Amino acid sequence: MRIVVMCKSVPDTMDVRFDPQTKTMVRAGVATTINPFDLFAIEAALRLREQHGGTVTAMTMGPSAAQRELQDAIAMGCDDAVLLSSPAYAGSDTWATAYALACAVRYMGEVDLIVCGRQAQDGDTGQVGPGIARQLGWPQVTYVSRVCELDLMARRIVVERLLEDGRQTLAAQLPAVMTVLKDANLPRTATLRGMRRAHRAVVPTWGPEITGADPRLVGLDGSPTRVVRVFSPTARQGQVQWITAATPQKVAEGLLAALTAEQLV
């Protein structure tokens, strides 16, 4: 069983703000980390390997510095890693990213399962997983909260998905693309042995010339979308209205009156 887990290098903070006065990003350094959602993907992949044997390859597309996140993935237990990095990839949107990753998986050959996090913490789109699936022509099982069964003989995976209005049990033929939710597991931490292995690991860097991706379909040129403006959201006007009173009962009455005035009750 050969599994590829996609992990993105993202800024190690959610608190990215935009200063409307200077029109600049206020950033707390440029430290990066593995996209937190992808930790669940790595854990899901490692558990499947433990049950069914095989290998787990961590893959990311990003600047050469993203190698650090791949080493973290190896420290957690991934067998090896591949970095997609090339000036040709710069400016890729979700379409071009999915295409570039799909080309790399095709180049690897004989992959049974791709595991991704639900979405990236910075972009929040959740589009790359389904994109990879369609690029490869594989079925997709997204928003997975539990892997129920994996049958390598029957080439089938059965998962439970958490949808807005319920839980769906879905079976898919392998090879497939799976995106997992936080609910799926509790990611392990790196072991000392893993860290030593990660330190020694040689992570190959692949550009489109290696994977066979059409250079016109990656990077900004290959991206159907353009970001035309980045700005700070307008902050909510006004301040909190405090509800104070002598007893909890009076506070509750005051709050209820306020909510009734807002036509919420």
Partner 1 sequence: MARLKIDRELCIGCGACVDACLYGALALVDGLAVVNDLCVACSACLDVCPVVALSLPAAQDASLSADTASGVWVWIETQHGGAAEVSWEMLGKGRELADARRVELVACVLGSRCQDLALSAGRRGADRVLLVDDPALAAFQTDVYARVLLTLVTAQRPEIMLFGATTRGRDLAGSLAADLRTGLTADCTELSIDPENGCLVQTRPAYGGNIMATIVTPTRRPQMATVRPRVFEPAPVQGDRVPTIERVAMPPVGELATEVLAFVPSRSDENLGQARVIVAGGKGVGSAEGFTLLAELAALLGGAVGASRAAVDAGWVSYAHQVGQTGRTVRPELYIACGISGAIQHRAGMSTSRVIVAINSDSTAPIFDIAHFGVVGDLFQIVPALSAALRQQLGDQQ
Q: How far is the CB of 171 from partner 1 (least distance, A)?
A: 5
Our CB check for partner 1 shows the closer of 82 and 197 to be 82
121-150: which residues touch partner 1 (CB under 8 A)? 121-131, 133-135, 138-143, 145
**Site stretch for partner 1 (CB under 8 A), options 71-79, 189-197, 198-206, 225-233:** 225-233
Is position 225 an interface residue for partner 1 (rule: CB under 8 A)?
yes
What tokens were used for 97? 């990213």
Which of 70, 181, 190, 196 lies at the binding interface for partner 1 (CB under 8 A)?
A: 181
Taking a C-beta distance cutoff of 8 angstroms, is the pair 9, 62 a contact?
yes
21-40: which residues touch partner 1 (CB under 8 A)? 22-25, 27, 30, 36-37
Question: What is the distance, to the nearest Å, from the Cα of residue 252 to the centroid of all Cα atoms in its chain?
Answer: 42
**Site stretch for partner 1 (CB under 8 A), options 52-60, 69-77, 118-126, 192-200:** 118-126
DSSP at 126:
-
> Using CA atoms, how far apart are residues 260 and 265, in angstroms rounded to an integer?
5
Is position 251 an interface residue for partner 1 (rule: CB under 8 A)?
yes
> Using CA atoms, how far apart are residues 118 and 41, in angstroms rounded to an integer?
8
Is position 168 an interface residue for partner 1 (rule: CB under 8 A)?
yes
189-208: which residues touch partner 1 (CB under 8 A)? none
In terms of Cα–Cα distance, which of 93, 81, 84, 82 is closest to 63? 84
What tokens were used for 38? 């992808």
Q: How far is the CB of 178 from partner 1 (least distance, A)?
A: 12
Is position 162 an interface residue for partner 1 (rule: CB under 8 A)?
yes
Which of 200, 202, 244, 246 lies at the binding interface for partner 1 (CB under 8 A)?
A: 244
> Using CA atoms, how far apart are residues 185 and 188, in angstroms rounded to an integer?
9
Is position 153 an interface residue for partner 1 (rule: CB under 8 A)?
no
Taking a C-beta distance cutoff of 8 angstroms, is the pair 133, 176 a contact?
yes
Our CB check for partner 1 shows the closer of 38 and 72 to be 38
Sorted by sequence, the CB contacts under 8 Å of residue 86 that are 6+ apart come out as 205, 206, 207, 208, 209
> Using CA atoms, how far apart are residues 230 and 192, in angstroms rounded to an integer?
41
Which of 11, 54, 207, 215 lies at the binding interface for partner 1 (CB under 8 A)?
A: 11
Start-to-end C-alpha separation, the chain: 56
Is position 246 an interface residue for partner 1 (rule: CB under 8 A)?
no
E strands, 36-131, are 55-61, 80-84, 113-117
Our CB check for partner 1 shows the closer of 48 and 184 to be 184
36-65: which residues touch partner 1 (CB under 8 A)? 36-37, 63-65
